[in-house]
Chain A
Amino acid sequence: MKIFKLLPALALITAISFTSCTPKDADIKASVEKSLKDNPATAGVLVMVNDGVATLSGEVTDDAAKAESATKAGAVKGVKSVVNNTTTPAPMVAPVVVSPDDALNSSVKDATKDFPTVMASVVDGVVTLTGSITKASLPKLMMGLSSLHPKKIDNQLTVK
């Protein structure tokens, strides 16, 4: 029966001994930060550690750096798991380049030459179509004009 009385004390001792050989969150945080400092790509990652769970945040240069952050953090002693909230910058979107009117004027002339019922004008990159066209020929005309890098095709054609 004595053993049962001792159980809470045993549990307490066990808990204390486990705590003492597990690094504290603050120490883990410092170790993770140290390991991420080695690479400039991951040096800016923000680290938080709570009960051995390391949460990473902030922006890294690319996906490789993101993966490396998680791998390095996971390898640090005392880290039970890693939550990787680091982000990568959104890909750069190049602005749409519209052909200058001079170039567009001559290329539109070429593209509409074989559609004698179609009139085309170019102003500030906008190609305005007037006149008429058959339903069957319309996609061909539009395909041709769309490849000339216009700002817009204002199609006012009567489709027969």
Chain B
Amino acid sequence: MALQDKYMTLTEAATAAGVSNLQVREQDGIMYLDGTAPSGAVKDQLWNKYGELDPNFSSGDLVMNINVAMDASVTKVKVMTDSSNLNIRKGPGTDQPIVGKAAHGETITLVSKSNDQWWLVRTDDGEEGYAYARYLSAE
């Protein structure tokens, strides 16, 4: 229970910010915090809080898996790379061949979410393939 005390303000902040399906579990000396945040801002806020409680995330005693809720009706996503183009690949994995590229800041079509990491997308040029979800955000 000591871990849940250490991260109590984090759990409380998640509850207060409206994180749904919030699950707090402790197993073999590691705490697992799972949930779905209503927005990307809430996710960032919780990670900031986590960074305050455990500077540089170096304790290795918490795995915080917070997703951002996304409306099922979303069909357009924006490429959120730092500056470079985003690779579109034949299959879900960086070992898969690149079949196309989407420009930084470009808006592309979300075809389906294959899994949490890889989403099937289509560019306006008709290139279709898998892109890394971290670099895509709902319009």
Q: Which residues of A contact B (CB under 8 A)?
A: 93, 95-96, 106-107, 109-111, 113, 135, 138-140, 142-144, 146-157, 159
User: Contact: B32 with A106, CB < 8 Å?
Assistant: no
Is B7 located at the chain interface by the 8 A CB criterion?
no
Q: Which residues of B contact A (CB under 8 A)?
A: 25, 27-28, 30, 32, 43, 47-48, 51, 56-58, 60, 63-67, 93-95, 116-118, 132, 134
**CB closest chain-B residue, reference A141:** B57
Contacts of A139 in B (CB 8 A): 47-48, 51, 57
Known: A144-B134, A150-B63. Is A106-B47 also a contact (CB below 8 A)? no
Contacts of A144 in B (CB 8 A): 134
Tally of A-B Cβ pairs under 8 angstroms? 61
User: Contact: A152 with B30, CB < 8 Å?
Assistant: yes
Extra contacts besides A95-B27, A113-B94, A147-B67 (17): CB < 8 Å = A93-B25, A96-B27, A96-B32, A107-B117, A109-B94, A110-B94, A138-B56, A139-B48, A139-B57, A143-B43, A143-B134, A148-B117, A149-B65, A150-B63, A155-B58, A156-B58, A157-B56
Specify the main secondary structure of chain B where it touches its partner: mixed
Contacts of A106 in B (CB 8 A): 93, 95
User: Contact: B57 with A111, CB < 8 Å?
Assistant: no
Contacts of A110 in B (CB 8 A): 93-94, 117-118, 132
Tell which of A107, A147, A149, A153 touches B57, judged by Cβ atoms closer than 8 Å: A153
How far, in angstroms, from A12 to B57 measured CA to CA in the complex? 77
How far, in angstroms, from A9 to B32 measured CA to CA in the complex? 72
User: Contact: A143 with B47, CB < 8 Å?
Assistant: yes
How far, in angstroms, from A149 to B117 measured CA to CA in the complex? 12
